[in-house]
Amino acid sequence: MVIGTVGSARDITERKQAEAELARHRQHLEELVEQRTTELLATEARATRILESSADGLYGVDGESRITFINPAACQMLGYTAEQVMGRGAHDLFHHRRPDGSPYPAAECTTCQGWLQGCDSRIGDETYWHADGHAVPVTLASRPIIENGQIIGAVVSVVDVSLQRAAIQAREQALIAAENLARARSEFLANMSHEIRTPMNGVLGFAQIGKRNHQDPEKARNAFEKILTSGKQLLGVVNEILDFSKIDAGKLQVEANEMSLGEVLEHALELVAERARVKGLALRLEKAPDLPPTCIGDPLRLGQILLNLLSNAVQFTATGGVTLSAARQGRELLFRVTDTGIGMTADQLGYVFNPFQQADGSTTRKFGGTGLGLAICKRLVELMQGEIRVESTPGAGSMFEVRLPYVRTAPHPDPREATSVTLPDEPLAGLCILLVEDDPINQMMLEVNLEDDGARLVIVGDGATAVERIIADGPDAYDVVLMDIQMPVMDGYQATRRILELVPELPIIGQTAHAFDEDRDKCLASGMAGHIAKPIEPRALAALILEVVADKRGR
């Protein structure tokens, strides 16, 4: 009995020890499971954070291309929420159409077939489709997920390359535009050389003819006429360049004065009438019955626009005619220049108003011109708050249309008060002028013209000598000073200020080759009473001299 009791107690002890060991082992296993679970959860959390923080779009698919996960970057890129795409086919959602929008069957989709066939690290450019239907160009990389030797899905990375492609396209377009501009400017400079040298050759050539034949009045007169024509042509080229520069710099302003529409129209036609007659072209003016006789506007700039359009029409028309029509349509004035000339293609119409360009290089060589005229017209029309357009058919002619706002003129109290002023034969008779000019040819030209107008002249070659003559001859020796600006020793501005210190009432007129408004303003700021730009038109100079002298005597 004692032996049995001892054995039973030992069994109980051993069983308790085994149970305790089993409990410790179970606890260890539970702690190990909890630790591994925590580690797995942490790893999953890290992976989730990586997926969610990635700037690239990432998503996963199973063996049947159904989406198993997707990160926020991919959702934002493609316009979906995660809930909208989970479990749905990636192909049907993202790349079911080709770049041109045509259907893209899954069986032909290289993206789907690539990962299902186990292609490792497939990289390429694809077109995905946003939820709102617009295309998203992407760079794609995919990697299959393999388990027990079987492909169970794939991980796909997509990067939106819209901005990169847009930047590349913008760079390519800028390069093309720069090349076109460089080519246009090169052609423009070559054309300018031709346009300037041609009339200059005429000026020099006919000057030599006039020199050789000075004893033959008829030949000399003909040579001088050709010199005058060539000089005006050269001046026209220079004026176009200056006008374009002013407009381009935003320094050209249009006036708002009362003008006679009939006079502007007829004057523009007169300036091209001789060229049209020589070519045998009919030149017509059509004025609508409702065209107002006057309006508010800039007659100089309107005339410039119409003259440019008419000159082009005559230039590019070999047979037929040119018609200038004018009408009023409601609150607009409508001007049209129609010709039966060579016309233009649709491509040429696309850049006909661009600066430095004509229809093509051969047109420039054949017909001449700066390539700035229509660009100047367009910008002048825009400055006048109007519109210009063109219709043309190759071989049939062109029609340019200008629309400008119609501003009614205020009625005159007495129309008989409007009188025209004409100059007598010797308008400057009795006046003594101090001419300050360093260029001998300009001295000679001004001397002849001013003496023909009746003036007496004293000529000096620089500003310092002009000041000395004023001091030597006294304050009442001269009625007016005609002052060049750029001269040696002392320029015109300095000389003007010094002379006005000596004789404050003496009017001084600046004459300069600089034709910009700021040059005129600088002359007036130095104390000059007026300004005239070279080349100088004699009658305009005479009128200005009379004006400043009258102002002096009226003070």
Q: What is the pLDDT of residue 252?
A: 67
Residue whose pair of structure tokens reads 């001449």 in the numeric block: 368
What is the C-alpha to C-alpha distance for residues 488 and 469, in angstroms, rounded to an integer? 16
Per-residue HEC secondary structure of 85-134 comes to HCCCEHHHHHCCECCCCCECCHHHCHHHHHHHCCCCCEEEEEEEECCCCC
Q: What pLDDT is recorded for position 398?
A: 95
What's the chain's average pLDDT? 81
Strand partners, 97: 103
Identify the pLDDT of residue 287: 94
Q: Give me the pLDDT at residue 538, please.
A: 86
Low-confidence ranges of the chain (pLDDT < 50): 1-2, 194, 359-368, 412-421
CA distances 132 to 80, 101, 135, 514, 516, Å, are: 9, 14, 9, 60, 56
The reported pLDDT for the residue numbered 1 is 47
Say which amino acid occupies 183. Answer: R
pLDDT at 205: 63
Question: d(Cα 338, Cα 312) in Å, to the nearest integer?
Answer: 10
pLDDT of residue 30: 79
Which residues, in sequence order, are bridge partners of residue 282?
A: 321
The dihedrals phi and psi of 484, each to the nearest 5 degrees, come to -70, 160
The number of residues in the chain equals 555
pLDDT at res. 319: 93
Q: What is the per-residue pLDDT for 199?
A: 62
pLDDT at 450: 92
Q: How far apart are CA 416 and CA 194, in angstroms?
A: 50
pTM over cut 0.75: no
Distance between CA atoms of residues 294 and 409, nearest Å: 7
Residue type, 275: R
